[in-house]
Structure 1
Amino acid sequence: ELVQHTNPYYRSSYALVVRSGEFDDVTRLDDPKLKGKSIGVIGGTPPVNRMGELGLIASMKAYAPYQLDPSRKYQTVSAEVIGDLAEKTIDAAILWGPAAGWLAKQSGVAMKVVPLLQEPDRPALTFRIAMGVRMEENDWKRSLNTILRKRRADIEKVLRDYDVPLLEDEGNKLLEPAAP
């Protein structure tokens, strides 16, 4: 361990992103409707392993995780995937939920973001997010944990404003919004 981590401040999952009206009822990667479809995914990410188990690799469009081409059209690889989905270059996409939610919202095309909550535990498609703190800085870690606890509602509001799929701390269930 190079760092110690704070308490997690949110939990999210990879998500299937589709154009609204297409594949609307698909909630799992093993749905037969996805067979043979061009699905965009960033190479080397956990969903690629799951797609391999399901025989979806042949029609998958893998995007290089790190592109150093300064002339590329999009700022991030995730934005490129969503751009291709909007332009109908691919049929669906699988992205990390926080990127998927915001980019789908900004795409200018009606899209549906479906957190992948019904997949097997391996490979993991859900993750807790925390901050890394140097090993010898225990006071700083305690300070950050206090701030995270006190500002939990503010953090959740920002994440919801950016359409981040939020999960409950345990299990694969979407976190319900806090009552006003």
Structure 2
Amino acid sequence: MSLLLALLIAAAPQRELKVCADPNNLPFSNKAGEGFENKLVDIIAKDLDAKVTYVWWAQRRGNVRETLNAGLCDLIPGVGPTLEMLGTTRPYYRSTYVSVVRAGRGLDIASFDDPRLKTSRIGVQLVGDDGANSPPAHALARRGITGNVRGYMIYGDYGAPAPQEEIVRAVADGEVDVAFVWGPVAGYFAQRQKVPLTLTPVTPAFDGPQLPMLFDVSAGIRKADRSLKREVEEILLRRAPEIRALLLSYGLPVPTP
């Protein structure tokens, strides 16, 4: 290699990977880089030999249009693979809603048809400021179980360091007997409570044809950026064992591949 070529290579700017992520959304991401999506981004960036630059944006309705599709970033982790406004990658994990109860109380509940739900205090996640309901909330309402149900906003108190923890903490504190929670949130925060909690995947995976409890999760890339999508998908496939180990370390209930 000539000296000139070596100098040109040394002077070449490092590749930059701009990532849109929520600054306060554990276990997924935060500004301190403590979320599993932060760690996933690190894996991708290392493989690309790229420097990560974050564009911090609260994960709210319209955030994809206002960030990725507005050209502010190149990638958003943690999106549904069927999101039509994006060029989504192959899923890098699948998880499910779970029931969360205090361990040792004999209240392990897997089905929305469990008769004990009629007399239990139940917590469910509500999605968005408009009070839209999560799949478990719809499943309970279909069975007429509403009077003993308490809703917890997914976004919670955004001024708190872990806004999504509230519903899991409510089980640990005895505010509710059972809560139906998205698996990654339940698994991560259950490990951090003062009492042991038991997580049970809800069954069946589909409560009727239009109400899934099991979801795939992908990374989002602009539709036109086919080259980056191809690169990221190759990394997700090549580093799959490492990524699975990462997810399990955060307590995510992920099915065995």
TM bracket (short chain): 0.7 to 0.9
Within 2, Cα distance between the matches of 1:25 and 1:61? 19
More strand by share: 2
Shift of 1:58: 1.1
2:110 to 22, 27, 37: 27
Q: Does 1:41 align with 2:118?
A: no
Does the Cα contact within 8 Å between 2:108 and 2:198 map onto a contact in 1?
A: no
Contact in 2 for aligned 1:4/1:133 (Cα 8 Å): yes
Aligned ranges 1:105-120 → 2 under 5 Å:
105-119=191-205, 120=207
1:151 aligns with 2:239: yes
Structure 2 residue identity aligned to 1:75: A
The letter of the residue matching 2:248 is R
| Higher RCO (C-alpha 8 Å, min separation 6) | 1
1:96 to 175, 182, 186: 182
Separation in 1, partners of 2:115, 2:165: 27
The one-letter code of the counterpart of 1:129 is V
Q: Secondary structure at the match of 1:13?
A: strand
In the TM superposition, what is the alpha-carbon distance from 1:137 to its structure 2 partner?
0.4
The residue that corresponds to 1:171 in the other structure is none
Residue number in structure 2 paired with 1:80: 166
Give the match for residue 11 of structure 1: 94
Please tell me whether the aligned partners of residues 38 and 59 of structure 1 are also in contact (alpha carbons under 8 angstroms): yes
Aligned counterpart, 1:60: 149
In the alignment, structure 1 segments of 5+ residues that lack a partner are 168-174
Tell me if structure 2 keeps the 8 A contact 1:11–1:128. Answer: yes
Please say if residues 36 and 56 of structure 1, whose CA atoms lie closer than 8 Å, have aligned partners that are also in contact.
no
Aligned pair count reads 166
Question: Would the aligned equivalents of 1:102 and 1:163 in 2 still touch at CA under 8 Å?
Answer: yes
**Distance (whole Å) between structure 2 residues aligned to residue 80 and residue 25 of structure 1:** 20
Q: How far 1:25 sits from its partner (Å)?
A: 4.1
Q: What do you get for the CA RMSD once the two structures are aligned? A: 1.7
Contact 1:23 1:33 survives alignment (8 Å): no
Please point out which of 194, 204, 216 is paired with 1:128: 216
Q: SS of the residue aligned with 1:2?
A: coil
Which of structures 1 and 2 has the bigger CA Rg? 2
